[in-house]
């Protein structure tokens, strides 16, 4: 699996629609200070479901929408789509190519799409569990992140190893199953109460 392209429109400094195509091997993005290099990695974080404005170097989620310049009006929405080559089926979905997109409007409305079909944030998160690509993954290493990992709490470091070991989805399923079991236990207690009242 590898990142084939990123499409950005109205996201941060990218007022016009741009498409960055990547090929096998290493690609470097170079440019003067403030030209938008980090905005490209922010776009990838964002489309993967980042909900924390601070992680995207903003103060609110609306800050990702192109805010306008002296010569150009602000835009009303931001859109990012990434396309991944999935011919090795590392992503558990029956497509050789997977496009994940996210759009947000100034009004607050937003949507996620997987291969053009609207979906929930949860679907995007589940698609990337245990691949290292999710927003908590290690595929994007930001400035200062290595230091944070090394100095971080052991539980935080453990999360990273869990992701690399591919057990995150099982842990989440276990938590969901435990919650269901708890509800069923409570239901059983109630049924037993009703039964003893009837006897
Ligand atoms: P450096 O090399 O200094 O790290 P960079 O190339 O990584 O810089 P970025 O940090 O990606 O640059 O981009 C910063 C630019 O993006 C600034 O000029 C900022 O004004 C612009 N920018 C950020 N958010 C928005 C927005 N919502 N609308 C318009 N422009 C924005």
User: What separation in Å is there between the alpha carbon of 189 and the centre of ligand 1?
Assistant: 58
User: What separation in Å is there between the alpha carbon of 12 and the centre of ligand 1?
Assistant: 7
In the prediction, which pLDDT does 51 show? 86
Mean pLDDT of 9-29: 93
In the prediction, which pLDDT does 14 show? 96
User: What separation in Å is there between the alpha carbon of 77 and the centre of ligand 1?
Assistant: 17
Lowest mean pLDDT, pick from 33-37, 98-102, 112-116:
33-37
- Give CA–CA dist 28/32, Å, rounded: 13
Q: Does residue 135 surpass a pLDDT of 70? A: no
Q: Does residue 17 surpass a pLDDT of 70? A: yes
Local structure of residue 172 (DSSP, 8 states): H
31 assigned to a ligand binding site: no
Q: Does residue 157 surpass a pLDDT of 70? A: yes
ipTM above 0.90, yes or no: yes
Nearest ligand 1 atom to alpha carbon 66: 28
In the prediction, which pLDDT does 145 show? 76
- Give CA–CA dist 49/66, Å, rounded: 19
Grade residue 156 by pLDDT with cuts at 50, 70 and 90: confident
Grade residue 133 by pLDDT with cuts at 50, 70 and 90: confident
Q: Does residue 136 surpass a pLDDT of 70? A: no
pTM value? 0.81
154 assigned to a ligand binding site: no
In the prediction, which pLDDT does 98 show? 97
Q: Is 8 in the pocket of ligand 1 (CB under 6 A)?
A: no
SS3 assignment, position 107:
coil
Which of 6, 13, 32 maximizes ligand 1 atoms within 8 Å of its Cβ, making it the mutation to test the pocket? 13
Mean pLDDT of 15-33: 93
Mean pLDDT of 102-110: 94
Local structure of residue 58 (DSSP, 8 states): -
Local structure of residue 147 (DSSP, 8 states): H
Q: Does residue 53 surpass a pLDDT of 70? A: yes
**Please, what is the average pLDDT of the chain?**
91
Which of 9, 12, 41 maximizes ligand 1 atoms within 8 Å of its Cβ, making it the mutation to test the pocket? 12
């Amino acid at each position: 699996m590898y990142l084939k392209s990123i499409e950005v429109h109205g996201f941060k400094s990218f007022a016009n629609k741009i498409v960055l195509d990547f090929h096998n091997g290493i690609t470097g993005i170079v440019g003067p200070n403030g030209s938008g290099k980090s905005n490209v990695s922010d776009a990838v974080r964002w489309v993967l479901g980042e909900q924390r404005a601070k992680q995207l170097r903003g103060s609110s989620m609306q800050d990702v929408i192109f805010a306008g310049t002296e010569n150009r009006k602000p835009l009303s929405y931001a859109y990012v789509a990434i396309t991944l080559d999935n011919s090795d089926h590392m992503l558990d979905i029956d497509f050789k190519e997977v496009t994940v997109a996210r759009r947000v409007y100034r009004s607050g409305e937003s949507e996620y799409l997987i291969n053009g079909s609207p979906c929930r944030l949860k679907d995007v998160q589940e698609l990337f569990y245990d691949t290292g690509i999710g927003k908590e993954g290690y595929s994007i290493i930001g400035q200062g992140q290595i230091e944070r990992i090394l100095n971080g709490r052991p539980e935080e470091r453990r999360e990273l190893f869990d992701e690399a070991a591919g057990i995150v989805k099982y842990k989440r399923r276990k938590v969901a199953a435990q919650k269901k079991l708890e509800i069923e236990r409570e239901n059983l207690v109630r049924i037993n109460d009703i039964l003893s009242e009837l006897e």
